[in-house]
Amino acid sequence: SPWRTFATTKDAPTARYTFTMGGGNAQKSAKARQMKQEKMKTASKGSQLADNAKAMNIQCKVCLQTFVSTTASVKLKEHADNKHPKNPYEQCFPNNPL
């Protein structure tokens, strides 16, 4: 049992009791700090802004506005119709056919 240890049964009346406790607040704080540092090492891979800027690879050829590569062609069509009603869609986005 973790609460008391005896060398033999005849030593039982004179044996000392040893307690194994779960740790104090300092130990818990140190463990939490260590876990947070490990988490921050794996999580800190830089800003998302750089990746977002790289993903802006669709560009309107008329006004040079950029769009994320996952933009639906419907949204590109809306842009061409609303911002450039006199220009055809193909002039705005020649590399992205409908």
pTM tops 0.75: no
**pLDDT at residue 15 is higher than 90:** no
3-state secondary structure the chain: CCCCCCCCHHHHHHCCCCCCCCCCHHHHHHHHHHHHHHHHHHHCCCCHHHHHHHHCCEECCCCCCEECCCCCHHHHHHHHHHHCCCCCHHHHCCCCCC
Give the per-residue pLDDT at 82.
93
Over range 23-50, report the average pLDDT.
Answer: 79
